Amino acid sequence: MPKLPGWTLEALHADHAQALRESSVLYDSQTDHQRLRVFENPTFGRILTLDDVVQVTEGDNFIYHEMLTHVPILAHGSAARVLIIGGGDGGMAREVLKHRTVSHVTMVEIDAGVVEFSKEYLPDISAGAFDDPRLDLVIADGAEFIRSTDGGFDVIIVDSTDPVGPGEVLFTDTFYGHAQRALAPGGILVTQNGVPFLQGQELTNTMRAFKALFADWTCYLATVPTYAGGPMAFGWGSDGGARQVPLETLEARFSAAGIETGYYTPAVHQAAFALPGYVARLMP
């Protein structure tokens, strides 16, 4: 990958890269698990990369975090216990904890460095989530945790890095099987599943596993500008009928939740499950 002084070149894909201007570099260090950097960009604000891959930006994280939380939680309707795997920046916990119906959030993050770092350099991402008494932060490998948990979760959100490095174990059939068993009746598993235009095989692999595990399996889409390459896919697996909840019900639940959003609406929720041909053709 060539170097571009004053820019971060993201090296996630073989034939496609994105360049983000660094107006200043605030942090650059190696944790026990991955290389952790944060820099300022004039358009996206502070940007966190792990092993040179964009994880979260102040500017567009709301899209990703809203769609991986409000979609399953409002579809479920009475989610009380939520599990987040990954999510070290705290953005996922921030959105989950906006739901007053949620009584307990377990967040399993492998790298304490990401949490501590995000509290200091990206406080607006977690926005106080780490201080919420409902949050139980566990520093562990999500694959280990899911194997030994007593389960009973209404929603499980996999907010991991891509399937390289420590995140790889979170894209395996074994992990998905344990996650399915950790769901309470009617529970929903959702996953960060990459940008299908450039990571189509990842989505197909996850969907193949979900097809074997769940009565209702599919993915839904949202476009996050710094997850380059087109819409991002979120895996959806459930044995209940949550995906069939009518628009009027979603609207009533969203109104009752009283949550201000920048991307999520009940109509966007439903539309997100409409798959274009090139994504539908990735379904097993």
Q: Amino acid identity of 139? A: I
- Is residue 57 within the footprint of ligand SAM (CB under 6 A)? no
Contacts to ligand SAM from residues 83-102, by CB under 6 A? 85-89
109 scored as a contact of ligand SAM (CB under 6 A): yes
Taking a C-beta distance cutoff of 8 angstroms, is the pair 154, 79 a contact? yes
Tokens (6 digits) for 158: 């996999």
Are the CB atoms for 230 and 223 separated by under 8 Å? yes
d(CA 76, CA 209) in angstroms, rounded, equals: 22
Least Å from the CB of residue 248 to ligand SAM = 31
Indicate the residue among 93 and 102 with the shorter CB distance to ligand SAM: 93
- How many Å apart are CA 234 and CA 203, to the nearest integer? 9
Closest CB to ligand SAM among 127 and 169?
A: 169
* Range in contact with ligand SAM (rule: CB under 6 A) among 2-10, 20-28, 98-106, 137-145: 137-145
One character per residue 148-187, x = contact with ligand SAM (rule: CB under 6 A): -----------xxxx---xx-xx-----------------
Minimum CB separation of residue 149 from ligand SAM in Å reads 13
How, if at all, do strands 153-159 and 183-192 pair? parallel
Which residue's CB atom is positioned nearest to ligand SAM? 88
| Count of residues interacting with ligand SAM (CB under 6 A) | 26
Pick 126 or 180: Cβ nearer ligand SAM: 126
Residue 196 in contact with ligand SAM, rule: CB under 6 A = no
Among residues 68 and 250, whose Cβ is nearest to ligand SAM?
Answer: 68
**SS3 label, residue 254:** helix
Please identify which residue in 12, 79, 114, 189 interacts with ligand SAM, judged by CB under 6 A. Answer: 114
Asked if 106 touches ligand SAM (CB under 6 A), the answer is no
Cα distances (Å, whole numbers) of residue 21 to 7, 17, 36, 46, 230: 4, 13, 17, 11, 20
Nearer to ligand SAM, 224 or 279 (CB): 224
Q: Element (H or E) spanning 137, and its range? A: strand 135-139
Please, what sign has the CA dihedral across residues 67, 272, 247, 79?
A: negative
81 closest CA partner among 157, 139, 141, 138: 157
Report the DSSP beta bridge partners of residue 50: 36, 53
Catalytic-residue membership of 28: no
Helix, strand, coil share of the chain (percent; to 5) = 35, 30, 35
- Residue 206 binds ligand SAM (CB under 6 A): no
Exactly one of 136, 159, 173, 239 is catalytic; which is it?
Answer: 159
- Does 108 participate in binding ligand SAM (rule CB under 6 A)? yes
Is 226 a residue that touches ligand SAM (CB under 6 A)? Answer: no
DSSP code for 114: H
Which residues form the interface with ligand SAM (CB under 6 A)?
50, 55-56, 64, 85-89, 108-111, 114, 141-143, 159-162, 166-167, 169-170, 192
Q: Which residue numbers are catalytic?
A: 159
